[in-house]
Chain A
Amino acid sequence: MRYPPMLGPATAGARAGTDAAEDERTSHSRGSWLLALALSLALVLGLSITTPAAAQDSTPDDDAAAMTLLEALDVDSFPTKGEAIDAIVHSDDSRARDWLQALLDGRLQRAGDGRFVVVLDNTGRDWPVQDALSGEPLGQMSRRELDRIGINNALRNQLRSAIAVVDLYAADVGLRRASAERLLGEVDSDLAGPLAEVIEEEPDARVRERLVQALAIYRLEQGELQAIDDLRGSLHPRVRVALARAASGTVESRAANGDDPIVADAAREALNSIEQMLKLNRAAETLYFGLSLGSVLVLAAIGLAITFGVMGVINMAHGELIMLGAYTTWAMQQLLPGQPGLALILAIPAGFLVAALAGIAIERGVIQFLKGRPLETLLATFGISLILQQLVRTGISPLNRTVITPEWMSGSIAVNDALSLTLNRMYVLGFALVVFAVLMLIMRRTRLGLEVRAVTQNRAMARSMGIRATRVDIMTFALGSGVAGLAGVALSQLTNVGPNLGQNYIIDSFMVVVFGGVGNLWGTLVAGLSLGVINQVLEPWAGAVMAKIIVLVFIILFIQKRPRGLFPQKGRAAEG
Chain B
Amino acid sequence: MDSSRLWLLRPFGERSTLIFLGVLLAAMTLVTLLHVAVPPGHPLYVSAYTVNLFGKYLSYALLAVAVDLVWGYLGILSLGHGAFFALGGYAMGMYLMRQIGDRGVYGHPVLPDFMVFLNWDSLPWYWYGFDMAWFAFLMVLLVPGALALVFGFLAFRSRVTGVYLSIITQALTFALMLAFFRNEMGFGGNNGLTDFREILGFNLRSSETRLGLFLATGVALALGYVLCRAIVTSKLGRVCVATRDAEARTRFLGYRVERFQLFVFTVSAMLAGLAGALYVPQVGIINPSEFSPLFSIEIVLWVALGGRATLYGAVIGAILVNYAKTVFTGAMPDAWLFALGGLFVLVTVFLPKGVAGLLALRLRRRRDADGSFSGKEASA
Contacts and interface: CB of A to CB of B under 8 A. Distances in A.
Nearest to B161: A576
A576 to B, nearest CB: 7
A549 B342 contact: no
Interface in A355-391: 366, 369-370, 373-380, 382-387, 389-390
A559 B168 contact: yes
A375 B162 contact: yes
B171 A370 contact: no
A556 B162 CA distance: 15
Given A380-B344, A385-B341, A510-B167, A560 B155 contact: yes
Contacts of B160: 559-560, 563
A556 B344 contact: no
Given A382-B344, A383-B340, A390-B341, A561 B163 contact: no
B167 A384 contact: no
B343 A383 contact: yes
B293 A507 contact: yes
A16 interface: no
Nearest to B168: A556
Contact of B341 (A314, A383, A563): A383
B166 interface: yes
A379 B164 contact: no
A350 interface: no
A383 B345 contact: yes
Contacts of A576: 162
B154 A511 contact: no
A552 B174 contact: yes
B131 to A, nearest CB: 29
B282 interface: no
A43 interface: no
Contact of B171 (A373, A376, A382, A556): A556
Q: Which of B159, B166, B343, B348 has the most CB of A within 10 A?
A: B348
B264 interface: no
Contacts of B182: 545-546
A387 B348 contact: no
B162 A386 contact: no
B179 interface: yes
A393 interface: yes
A390 B163 contact: no
A182 interface: no
B341 A560 contact: no
B28 interface: no
A314 B293 CA distance: 15
B338 interface: yes
Contacts of B242: none
Contacts of B158: 559-561, 563
A129 interface: no
B155 A366 contact: no
B145 to A, nearest CB: 18
A426 interface: no
Interface stretch (B56-64, B101-109, B193-201, B297-305): B297-305
A557 B174 CA distance: 15
Given A383-B341, A511-B171, A545 B162 contact: no
Q: Which of A378, A510, A511, A563 has the most CB of B within 10 A?
A: A378
Interface residues of B, number: 41
B284 interface: no
Interface string A544-568: 0110110011011101110100000
B73 to A, nearest CB: 14
B348 A379 contact: yes
Contacts of A545: 178-179, 181-182
B178 A555 contact: no
A461 to B, nearest CB: 22
A576 B344 CA distance: 27
Contacts of A387: 337-338, 341-342, 345
B227 interface: no
Given A376-B348, A510-B170, A563 B342 contact: no
Contacts of A563: 158-160, 164
Contacts of A375: 77, 162-163, 166
B362 interface: no
B261 to A, nearest CB: 14
Interface string B326-339: 00000000100110
Interface in A288-326: 312, 314
Contact of A374 (B162, B334, B341, B344): B162
Contacts of B366: none
A394 interface: yes
A385 B301 CA distance: 14
Given A379-B348, A383-B343, A393 B166 contact: no
A483 interface: no
A555 B343 CA distance: 32
Contacts of A373: 348, 352
Q: Which of B162, B164, B179, B337 has the most CB of A within 10 A?
A: B337
A400 B236 CA distance: 52
A557 B168 CA distance: 10
B205 interface: no
Contact of B178 (A369, A380, A385, A548): A548
B297 A507 contact: no
B259 interface: no
B287 to A, nearest CB: 16
Interface in B273-323: 293, 297, 300-301, 304
Contacts of A393: 334, 337
B343 to A, nearest CB: 7
Nearest to B345: A383
Contacts of B334: 390, 393-394
Interface in B167-204: 167-168, 170-172, 174-175, 178-179, 181-182
Q: Which of A370, A374, A382, A384 has the most CB of B within 10 A?
A: A382
B341 A555 contact: no
A379 B163 contact: no
B349 interface: yes
A548 B179 CA distance: 9
Contact of A555 (B162, B171, B337): B171
Contacts of A390: 334, 337-338, 341
Contact of A379 (B162, B167, B178, B301): B301
Contacts of B151: 556
A7 interface: no
Contact of B168 (A314, A379, A389, A514): A514
Contacts of A560: 154-155, 157-158, 160
Given A386-B340, A394-B334, 7 more contacts: A379-B304, A387-B342, A507-B171, A514-B167, A549-B175, A559-B158, A563-B160
14 contacts: A370-B349, A379-B297, A387-B338, A390-B341, A507-B174, A510-B170, A545-B179, A548-B175, A552-B175, A556-B171, A559-B158, A560-B160, A563-B159, A563-B164
Please provide the 7 A-B residue pairs with the shortest distance between their CB atoms, ordered closest to farther. Answer: A383-B344, A386-B341, A387-B341, A390-B337, A552-B175, A380-B348, A560-B154
